[in-house]
Amino acid sequence: MYLFHSSKGGNGTTLVTVACALAEVAQRPRAVLVDLCGDVPAMLGMAEPVGPGVNDWLAENSTADADTLLHCGTTIENGLLVIHRGAEHVEGSPRWALLAATLATLPVPVFVDAGTRLVADDMAQRARRMILVTKPCYLSLRRATLLRRPSHVVVVNEQGRALTPKDVESVLAAPVIATIPVDPAVSRAVDAGLFPARCTQLLSKHLPQL
């Protein structure tokens, strides 16, 4: 399980998570992408999902099992199973320990887009990598220092920033494993619903370390 999160909105967490999941299924027959923040369908150019999702599954009084969780998803053409967010909020105390155990035992790679959601201890402990996605932005880094230390960092690099990826490593005491430049072509692909088709062309050279 690879868990992606950020300290601040607009840092590109969903884009990086989706890109990594798409890169994975380009080489292997199957992977799972869990959407905890609700932006994945738009990134993939999918219709807005209806029906229950992972937030419904997490509800304190839910009795749903692992099979039910997988049925909350939609498989897109390339073999990527997208488990939707479902309800906007979780009712009661979330069943994080059960979700973490379920995802960690799936026989395929799992990519979790947590966005700016607070990462539960159970999820962090089960993750093979807990990856913080950030711009080299003082406000983002200031917030990130208050969170659990990530195992790795992805920097979405904007021209003109005073801070560098090396500064990010120093502040967060975690290695930067990829630097992805802000590219208008990526934004255009997302806006047109073409990001899945153009992801490899646009980002493949930036993803090998991930």
Decide: helix, strand or coil at residue 156: strand
Q: What is the DSSP code string of 43-90? A: HHTPPPP-S--HHHHH-TT----HHHHHTTEEE-TTSEEEE---SSS-
8 A C-beta contact, residue 61 and residue 92: yes
Judged against a pLDDT cut of 80, whether residue 207 lies above it is answered with no
Q: What is the pLDDT of residue 200?
A: 85
Count, in order, helices (H) and strands (E) of the chain. 10, 8
Q: Over pLDDT 70: what percentage of the chain?
A: 99
Judged against a pLDDT cut of 80, whether residue 2 lies above it is answered with yes
Q: What is the pLDDT of residues 77-128, one digit of tens each?
A: 778 999 999 999 999 999 999 999 999 999 999 999 999 998 999 999 999 9
pLDDT band at 210 (very low <50, low <70, confident <90, very high): low
Could you state, in order of their start, the residue ranges of all structural domains in the chain?
2-206
Q: What is the pLDDT of residue 205?
A: 83
Decide: helix, strand or coil at residue 148: coil
Architecture of domain 2-206: 3-Layer(aba) Sandwich (3.40)
pTM above 0.85, yes or no: yes
Q: Which residue did the predictor score with more confidence, 186 or 209?
A: 186
Paired strand residues for 156: 180
Average pLDDT, the chain: 93
Backbone dihedral angles phi then psi of residue 32, each to the nearest 5 degrees = -120, 135
Q: What is the pLDDT of residue 209?
A: 65
